[in-house]
């Protein structure tokens, strides 16, 4: 008998963060606040679990308005054409709160298979309003060029303005439905 529990991602308490090397000397961090979706977790048969998540690309925030405008432009995310970043799981493996979740990540209209390293779900807890909550954290690294994000500038001293590798982190608060 399945023990699957369905959660919705709470966008008010969830973020998708990223980190990328800038000028070959420092990391720039940013995040998206518009994270939504569904997580179905089957503790008895984890392989039956699934994740379907959506990030509103227009919510990008790097603490620099000019950079945010550039990242939303056709040079990068092109949010006018590609307003969402999506992830749909295909395979979940692991145990004891440490999982490998493999699925299709779509950014800028390009879909590639990626694997997320996931911690969780956290033990359920009730909030003050009686809602049952859980949480999970996930991380992966991607090549932005593989997703068609190729804009860059060569530096006089060698190297490029923006590195290819992007580290992605997700902090999700889940509401049991």
- Interval 6-28 mean pLDDT: 94
pLDDT band, very low/low/confident/very high, at 55 (cuts 50, 70, 90): very high
pLDDT band, very low/low/confident/very high, at 23 (cuts 50, 70, 90): confident
Q: Name the nearest CA neighbour of 19 among 136, 140, 113, 109.
A: 140
**CATH code 2.40.128.110 for 4-176:** yes
CA distances (Å), origin 113, targets 62, 86, 101: 26, 12, 10
Q: How is residue 76 annotated by DSSP?
A: T
Containing 31, the helix (H) or strand (E) segment is strand 26-32
Instruction: Supply the pLDDT for residue 108.
Output: 95
Euclidean distance between CA atoms 52 and 2, whole angstroms: 19
Range with the largest mean pLDDT of 1-5, 100-104, 153-157, 162-166:
100-104
Q: 46 versus 116: which is more confidently predicted? A: 116
Q: Name the nearest CA neighbour of 78 among 105, 39, 49, 107.
A: 107
pLDDT band, very low/low/confident/very high, at 2 (cuts 50, 70, 90): low
**Domain boundary assignment for the chain:** 4-176
Instruction: Supply the pLDDT for residue 168.
Output: 98
* % of the chain residues with pLDDT over 90: 82
Burial class of 68 by CB neighbour count within 10 A (0 to 12, 13 to 18, 19+): middle
pLDDT digits over 78-87, tens only? Answer: 999 999 999 9
Q: Is the pLDDT of residue 96 over 90?
A: no
Q: Is the pLDDT of residue 145 over 90?
A: yes
């Amino acid at each position: 008998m399945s023990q699957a529990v369905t959660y919705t991602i709470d966008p008010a308490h969830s973020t998708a963060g990223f980190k990328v090397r800038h000028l070959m000397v420092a990391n720039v961090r940013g995040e998206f606040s518009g994270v939504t979706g569904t997580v179905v977790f089957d503790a008895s048969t984890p392989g039956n679990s699934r994740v379907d998540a959506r990030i509103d690309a227009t919510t990008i925030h790097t603490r620099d308005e000019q950079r945010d405008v550039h990242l939303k432009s056709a040079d990068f995310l092109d949010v006018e054409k590609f307003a969402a970043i999506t992830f749909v799981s295909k395979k979940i493996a692991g145990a004891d709160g440490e999982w490998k979740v493999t699925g299709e990540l779509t950014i800028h209209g390009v879909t590639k298979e990626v694997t997320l390293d996931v911690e969780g779900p956290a033990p359920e807890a009730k909030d003050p309003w009686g809602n049952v909550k859980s949480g999970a954290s996930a991380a992966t690294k991607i090549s932005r060029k593989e997703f068609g994000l190729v804009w860059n500038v060569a530096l006089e001293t060698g190297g490029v303005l923006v590195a290819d590798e992007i580290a992605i982190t997700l902090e999700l608060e889940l509401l049991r439905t």
